[in-house]
Structure 1
Amino acid sequence: MDILHFYSIPLHTHNISPIYTHTLNTPSSHTLSTNMKTQSNNPLLLIKLLTLHSLLVLSASQDFDFFYFVQQWPGSFCDTKHGCCYPGTGKPASDFGIHGLWPNRNDGSYPSNCDSSNPFDASKISDLMSQMKSDWPTLSCPSSEGLTFWGHEWDKHGTCSETVLDQHGYFSTALSLKTQINLLQALESAGIHPNGSEYSLRSIRDAVKEASGYTPWIECNTDSSGNSQLYQIYLCVDSSGSGFVECPVFPTGSCGSSIEFPSF
């Protein structure tokens, strides 16, 4: 996926089963526009061309079935060979932070970079900035305030959901989803604390399911000594972004039966 960001590593690829490129065997928009001009004296044909054009736009802009809502543990982002850099506002809170809200398909593939004509515009989320810095911080190096990270998430993932969520809606939806499940509280209530101890993968998964009502997917990375540690927690969201659902498919990969939960 994305290596520049906090929270961010190469993970969308999120190690899901094969990524498919869907190619429509249909005329290009340029061809359609040309045909519309040359066939404007044929109303029925013009209607058909306009309908086909609309379907092409729709299929290109909403080609997904659900979202992965991914939160990342900052201690595991920093406790690697690459390290991390705090943003200018200082060390983020010791809490899970948002990595992204990623459109996905039921077959495990996902769309990306769907609309280059609608790039990230920070002015559209100016009212969310305080909460973004708190709940969606960046720990990438060199130190930054998060705009590059958020822009990457919108350009790569958010543009693929713009038929249901505009830029403001995309980010506000992710922020709202975070308030619906406090992952750290869920884990600590089950006796799972970020103190460098090892915990069973099953206990972590069960704690999140108990608190959220849905089965999560747990992703691990390795610390500077090569030990497996809790890195990211995935929950699935319906295609409107309105609420959590059971995941139709999980990413691939494994953590081992016991993993560390490092401090931050």
Structure 2
Amino acid sequence: MHVWQVLLVAAAFLATLASVVSVEPFNSYSLALQWPPSVCDPAPWGRECLDDQPERFTIHGLRPQRSNGGPVDPPDAECNNNFIPAEELDILLEREPFYDDLLEFWPNPFNDSIYPLFWSSQWNRHGICSDFRNDPVGYFRTSLDLFTDRFIHLREDVGIEVGESYTLEQVHTNLKETYGVHPQIACNKRNQLWEIRFCYTRLRGGEAPVHIVDCPELSDAEYVCDENDVHLPPAHEPEPEPEPEPEPEPEPEPEPEPEPEPEPEPEPEPEPGTPPPPPRRPPPPPPRRPPPPPPRRPPPPPPRRPPPPPPRRPPPPPPRRPPPPPPRRPPPPPPRRPPPPPPRRPPPPPPRRPPPPPPRRPPPPARRPPPPRRPPRALYTGHSEI
């Protein structure tokens, strides 16, 4: 091997070693809460926002992060490949009792027709790198619990009014007085308050984080706020419907012309010798009718207020697909039976005791010797010896 090859291998090894040593540990979580009107002013490139955005902070995501504030994203060694499509994730979460709370507190600000597309993007980027990488239900339940525990009325609790301008120091001070910690504050390009991120200590053993702590400095230079002008924009109001054109006023009817008075008939000449007739009085003029009143114009209609938008119902979920069959797990090994106990040896028999000797009977009394036999007497037969 040439010297330059040795040097190249050594340099690559040292670079790899330096990169490994420089990686900060994954030791905390960031709960990112967003202000939807700021997310959509303007909408990200290629996205379309819904018209009726809520004027309250909602969940953006629960993100694992390093001690320097950097994110833990795929393909980090902490992550796995447990990616879940939006439809499957919706079917999985819809079975849970907290599904309605997800719709309320973790809404999708974009017009993507279905909420789970937003949830799926958070799971596939942050959830698979967390301690819940194999438990999507636990990831969403924990995020929801952290939010509902403290932050449902975040804006009111901190005292930030919509449309008012604050300094960055005022916002930090109010947050510190309310929650006792310094979170991260991020703004969009118009210096509108976009996100507030609260940090939690990572617990060993995969337990849910519960201890809220100060956050490191914001690592995203793109979202740094102006020191002197931070504000919350109001939600976009729908444009009012155009008012209908007023109907043309009816033309007034022409007044009727007065009838001409009839000419008086010539008086006949009086005959001679007849007294002159009394002077004729002109007939009284016909009573003058008052001119008809001008037609009454209808009062202009009151300005039409746009009807309140109907409550937005979540779009119907897509047709349920049967959940994929669970991965086949190998059958559990048969339960180990304890080895049979060693055969019991019968206890050794008790030492045999010799049977007790039979009771000694007293020896029979000694037999008396028979009396000595006397010699037989000679029988007298009556005969003498010859």
The TM-score with structure 2 as length reference comes to 0.46
Q: Distance in 2 between matches of 1:122 and 1:21?
A: 42
CA deviation digits over 1:32-71, x for unaligned, max 9?
xxxxxxxxxxxxxxxxxxxxxxxxxxxxxxx621111100
In structure 1, what is the equivalent of residue 91 of structure 2?
Answer: 123
TM-superposition CA deviations, 1:198-240 (whole Å, max 9, x none): 1111111222222211111110003xxxx31111001101214
Deviation at 1:84, TM superposition (A): 4.3
Deviation at 1:158, TM superposition (A): 0.4
Match of 2:360 in 1: none
Residue number among 96, 101, 104 corresponding to 2:62 in the alignment: 101
Cα deviation code 1:77-116 (max 9, x no counterpart) = 1221658422xxx835321111111001113333223222
Which amino acid counterpart does residue 168 of structure 1 have in structure 2?
Answer: V
- Cα distance in structure 2, aligned partners of 1:21 and 1:200: 44
C-alpha distance in 2, partners of 1:21/1:151? Answer: 35
Unmatched tracts of structure 2, length 5 or more:
1-15, 204-208, 236-386
Q: Residues 158 and 178 of structure 2 are in contact (CA less than 8 Å); yes or no, is this contact kept in structure 1?
A: no
Distance 1:189 1:237 in 2: 20
What are the residue-to-residue correspondences of 1:45-64 with 2, within 5 Å? 64=26
Q: What is the identity, as a one-letter code, of the residue corresponding to 1:202?
A: E
Q: What secondary structure sits across from 1:68 in the alignment?
A: strand
Note closer, same or farther for the CA distance 1:206–1:21 as it changes in structure 2 (3 Å cut): farther
**Distance change >3 Å, CA 191–CA 110, structure 1 → 2:** closer
Question: Take 2:155 and 2:55, find their aligned partners in 1: how far apart are those partners?
Answer: 13
Tell me which residue corresponds to 1:171.
Answer: 140
What's 1:263 paired with?
Answer: 234
In terms of fraction of residues, the more strand-rich structure is 1
Match of 1:28 in 2: none
Shift of 1:180: 2.5
Matched residues, number: 198
Query: Which consecutive segments of 4 or more residues in structure 1 shift more than 4 A?
Result: 20-24, 81-84
| 1:92/1:137 contact within 8 Å kept | no
Change (3 A) 1:117 1:256: closer
What is the deviation of 1:197? 2.2
Q: 2: distance between equivalents of 1:119 and 1:186?
A: 31
Q: Which whole-Å CA distance do the structure 2 matches of 1:191 and 1:197 have between them?
A: 11
Give, in whole Å, the separation in 1 of the partners of 2:17 and 2:108.
30
The structure in which a higher percent of residues are helix is: 1
| Contact kept in structure 1, 2:43 and 2:49, CA below 8 Å | no
Name the counterpart of 1:251. 219
Aligned partners of 2:28 and 2:64 also within 8 Å: yes
The aligned residue for residue 230 of structure 1 is: 193
Give the one of 72, 75, 83 matched to 2:34.
72
> What code does the residue aligned with 1:262 have?
P
Matches within 5 A, 1:16-165: 64-80=26-42, 82=44, 84-86=48-50, 91-113=52-74, 114-119=79-84, 121-126=89-94, 127=96, 128-140=98-110, 142-162=111-131
Which deviations, in whole Å up to 9, do the C-alpha atoms of 1:127-175 show, x marking residues without a partner? 23211111111112x4322211111111111011145872111111111
After superposition, the Cα gap between the structure-2 partners of 1:23 and 1:154, relative to the gap in structure 1 and judged at 3 Å, is farther
Is the Cα contact below 8 Å between 1:236 and 1:245 reproduced in 2? yes
| Cα 1:158–1:190 shift into 2, 3 Å | closer
Contact 2:127 2:136 (8 Å CA) reproduced: yes
Tell whether the 8 Å contact from 1:77 to 1:84 is kept in structure 2 after alignment.
Answer: no
Cα distance in 2 between the residues matched to 1:23 and 1:149: 33
Evaluate the alpha carbon distance shift between residue 249 and residue 230 of structure 1 in structure 2; reply closer, same or farther with a 3 A threshold.
Answer: closer
Contact 1:133 1:145 (8 Å CA) reproduced:
no
Q: 1:204 to 1:108 in 2, by over 3 A?
A: closer
In the alignment, structure 1 residue 188 sits paired with structure 2 residue 165: no
* RMSD across aligned positions (CA): 3.0
Sequence identity of aligned pairs in percent?
A: 29
> What is the rounded CA distance, in whole Å, between the counterparts of 2:30 and 2:187 in structure 1?
16
User: Quick one: distance in 2 between partners of 1:21 and 1:235?
Assistant: 33
Contact 1:68 1:103 in 2 (8 A): yes
> Are 2:202 and 1:239 aligned?
yes
Contact 1:73 / 1:230 at 8 angstroms: preserved in 2? yes
Contact 1:215 1:246 in 2 (8 A): yes
Q: From the CA coordinates, give the structure whose radius of gyration is larger.
A: 2
Equivalent AA in structure 2 for residue 231 of structure 1 = W
Alpha-carbon distance between aligned partners in 1 of 2:186 and 2:193, rounded to the nearest angstrom: 7
8 A Cα contact 1:93 1:134, kept in partner: no
